[in-house]
Amino acid sequence: MMKPLYVAFVWNQHQPFYQDTAQKKYIMPWVRLHAAKDYYQMAAILRRYPKIRQTFNLTPSLLVQLEDYLQGAEDYYLKVMKPVKELTTAEKRFLLQHYFDIHWERVIALWPRYQELLAKQGYRREPEAVEEALARFTDQDYLDLQVWFNLTWIDPEIRAHDPELQALQAKGQNFTEADKKKVIAKQWEIMRQVVPVHQELALSGQIEVMTTPFYHPIMPLLVDSRSALRASPGLKVPKTYSYPEAAAEQIVKAINQYYHYFNTHPAGIWPPEQAVSPETLALFAEHGFAWTISDEDILARSLGIEFYRDGFGHVLNADELYRPYLVRAGRKKIAMVFRDHHLSDRIGFVYHQMPLDHAVDDLIGRLHRIRESVSGCAGPHLVTLALDGENAWEWYPHDKNVFLHKLYSRLSAESGLITVTVQEFLRQYPPTRELKQIFTGSWVDHSLARWIGSDSKNRLWEMLLKARQTLEEVRGSISFEQFMQAKENLLIAEGSDFTWWVDSMPYYQAAPFEALFRKHLANFYRACGKEIPLEVRTPVIYPKHGEAAWPADPLAGPTVMVPAKE
């Protein structure tokens, strides 16, 4: 009889740190909106499928912001939720720029009134392109827009089972200020349940919750920025940034937060962007983590092989990929699993383009094909599917729910396929193979070049280096409270999302992140009692010809964070 195949779903739930710590305001709303649409529902849906085991990474930067919201924090997108009669022209412009930031075809097109408002806005994506629409919109238009944006950012299955939200959808237009307050109250109601649902399912053993270094830094670069040269020997890197003590602090802060929520030490740690190095794994092992995760490309280069796939994407040397490994990490060892990049990407980017029954058939069929391919090898075998647990779903018909219900129903009844949390698999089946080395890189082209090496990315690293040097200069000359405040802003600025966007995305999308990076450093220098350097007050990136510049007005935000399908 053919042995079973084990399957580990690992969902990465992450948001950058959006707060301007000086103003205590959130520049962007994605923690709140994805909490209402994804973070609660992704876990809660499992209550209906007790046989399905999964692993969730809740990043500390996400959880700390979620807690802030529950204590009364607001974001700039809420700043324009005031009564319509009180809106300024700038706030109306903001509504027209940003209250269509959800998938146009999959979401807005489902609701005639929301679609009508988008047509009236002119289907404009660029921040500077909505001026003509200002004269076309009535007060009722703005009010309906306020309601529809926040309503559609609530998970559709939650809306379908909530009589008050159902009534608002049926009403469709001519909303009132009371209707608007009701929608926002529902978002807060859902946010309050995000952590408890994960605690409940973790306690029952149905899910495992892992963590990430606190503000999501690229750990190999934090330990030593020169490590980027291992995968990219010709990369132009800035002056060396090497602060392993900062990397350790990001880990310790994450562990402490995890204890606060789950009353235990986390077994698993997700390296931000699956970026690993020998030094990073040593830190993980020293701080008591049992396992970590990376991409199949990192495994291939660690083994010195290639993973060959046939024309259908099936791995031909499957025995090497679909198993855990033990890796020597400094004086200790740590277990590692490596995700199937191709299958993970099919969930993230391919299956929404297919009839969902066919998509589920495809995934189940591919898992059985893997089971057959490793049937003659010493096992057991584990397929790891690891990906972003939030952004893919707007591309799916009816968001995540139809696809996941179909998938979980099939997996619950499927003979030979068993879902597991990573830690329960490792406890039952410890790794039998050991890696002599771990390759330094990430899930992006098995390198670190997405976060360092371009002129603008390097300037951000140079600003971080100067700030680190300043922190040492002021040590002992400022109060303990000031020092800790300064260091916290510096830890925030080390987050990966700032260098991810700069020089990698269009200006109007990257500019808010670059500006927020400089805000964190400005707050750092204020806490140090130092004058803010000119380079921190000066934009690093500039608009191309014809693009509007990023203004100082904090109401200006990124446009189309979740663009419609081209």
For residue 83, which phi and psi values (nearest 5 degrees)?
A: -50, 140
For residue 449, which phi and psi values (nearest 5 degrees)?
A: -70, -15
User: Does residue 266 contact residue 211 with C-beta atoms inside 8 Å?
Assistant: yes
Dist CA 94 CA 87 (whole Å): 10
DSSP string, 74-119: -BHHHHT-S-GGG--HHHHHHHHHHTT-S-TTTTGGGSHHHHHHHH
Q: Cis omega (within 30 of 0) on the bond before 196? A: no
SS3 441: strand
Report in angstroms the alpha-carbon separations of 478 from 156, 246, 472, 475, 492.
51, 20, 11, 7, 20
Amino acid 461 reads W
User: Does residue 279 contact residue 224 with C-beta atoms inside 8 Å?
Assistant: yes
Q: Convert the pLDDT of each residue in 493-531 to its tens digit.
A: 999 999 999 999 988 889 889 999 999 999 999 999 999
SS3 329: strand
Dist CA 219 CA 283 (whole Å): 10
Q: How far is residue 368 CA from its own chain's centroid? A: 30
Nearest Cα neighbor of 433 from 329, 296, 321, 343 is 321
Please calculate the CA angle 359-563-165 and round it to the nearest 5 degrees.
Answer: 75
User: Does residue 274 contact residue 293 with C-beta atoms inside 8 Å?
Assistant: yes
C-alpha torsion sign, points 39, 496, 349, 558: positive
For residue 326, the cross-strand partners are 335, 434
C-alpha torsion sign, points 473, 475, 478, 481: positive
Q: With left for phi above 0 and alpha for psi between -120 and 50, is residue 314 left, alpha or beta?
A: beta
For residue 54, which phi and psi values (nearest 5 degrees)?
A: -145, 165
Q: Convert the pLDDT of each residue in 260-292 to its tens digit.
A: 999 999 999 999 999 999 999 999 999 999 999
Report in angstroms the alpha-carbon separations of 391 from 11, 58, 271, 428.
11, 15, 19, 33
Dist CA 137 CA 132 (whole Å): 10
Model confidence pTM above 0.75: yes
Dist CA 509 CA 265 (whole Å): 37
Q: What does DSSP say about strands 417-419 and 19-20: parallel, antiparallel, or unpaired?
A: unpaired
pLDDT of residue 558: 41
Q: Which residue reads 């204890």 in tokens?
A: 259
Residues of the chain with pLDDT under 50: 553-566
Q: What does DSSP say about strands 25-26 and 19-20: parallel, antiparallel, or unpaired?
A: antiparallel
pLDDT of residue 127: 64
Q: Convert the pLDDT of each residue in 68-96 to its tens digit.
A: 999 999 998 999 999 999 999 999 999 99
At how many degrees (to 10) do helices 278-286 and 244-262 cross? 40
